[in-house]
Structure 1
């Protein structure tokens, strides 16, 4: 299954709140948040790198259980 990482931004300042993992073709993160798909995105292989921090703990845990 394909995944990608999408940024969740804060409301007034539009600064990064945290990154979430999303399954391909969906607009809801693995933790259940509905995200704005026009926000910055990263490939799934950025998970665990400095570039993808801070990362949603729930998305990360579910992603680990879903990928080989």
Structure 2
């Protein structure tokens, strides 16, 4: 299954390139629901799953990280 990282923003804030990211989440490609169950904005910024664990994907949702590791133990 393919994954990507998607941004969560503060409540009521519309995503655009200058919007600060509250938290990054792991999603399955083509969906806006994080692995932790949080619904994310369809227009939210995304990153490749390869960015997981790197500075550009911080802060990262711990629950998404645990669930992602459960599916990809070699990462």
TM over 0.5: yes
Q: How many residues are matched? A: 68
Q: Which runs of 5+ in 2 are unaligned?
A: 14-18
Query: Structure 1 runs of 4+ off > 4 angstroms?
Result: none
2:48 equivalent to 1:40: no
More moved, 51-60 vs 35-44:
35-44
TM-score (norm 2): 0.82
Distance 2:12 2:30 in 1: 28
Q: Which runs of 5+ in 1 are unaligned?
A: none
Is residue 57 from structure 1 mapped to residue 62 from structure 2 by the alignment? yes
**RMSD (Å) for aligned C-alpha atoms:** 1.4
In the other structure, the counterpart of 1:5 is 5
Structure with greater proportional strand content: 1
For normalisation by structure 1, the TM-score amounts to: 0.90
